Amino acid sequence: MKINSFGVVDTAIQRPCTHFDERPNDDDISLLVIHNISLPAGQFATPFVDDLFMGCIDCQAHPSFADLAGLRVSAHCFIKRSGEIVQYVPFSKRAWHAGRSEFLGRNQCNDFSIGIELEGTDTTAYTQNQYNALQSLTKALINKYPAITRSRIVGHCHIAPGRKTDPGDSFDWNHYFAAL
């Protein structure tokens, strides 16, 4: 797995979205944030995560989608339960994944982070295919952006405590880190 100079993964499916902007400092990519998402919650292999990141989700498709109307969010990559990686935003650009956030006294983590979404929930075990894909992607990211170190890989829960809980108790940090 390779990441080119534009921040594009050679093995990922490319789904360029418009929910991103320029980073304030191109040379300041120093944090990896792991998230989870499923739409509707707990349902996998639906088109709705892709629709959300592409800005075309039908908020009438499920009652739980009502609060998604007008929401503009994205992640750099989404890892499906199969291990397939979909890239929405090049790593060189600022994806809108972290919201109000803080890491080591620094606010607005989107400015300097990469956001990876795992298809899942806080309480459903992730698949080995997802761990394999995440570990390979993480190695490629560390190679491309050496400021991302093990101590600078966190969950959304770590940068937005009290507001976010993902990737949840179901994420096996020891298993993930063991292969890095």
The catalytic residues are 117
Nearest Cα neighbor of 14 from 40, 50, 43 is: 50
Contacts of 92 (CB under 8 A, 6+ apart): 6, 7, 23, 26, 29
Provide the 3-class DSSP secondary structure of residue 162.
coil
Report the sign of the C-alpha dihedral through residues 135, 170, 110, 83, in that order.
positive
- 93: helix, strand or coil: strand
Helix (H) / strand (E) element for 57: namely none
Q: Which residues contact 69 (CB under 8 A, 6 or more apart)?
A: 59
Letter for the amino acid at 62? H
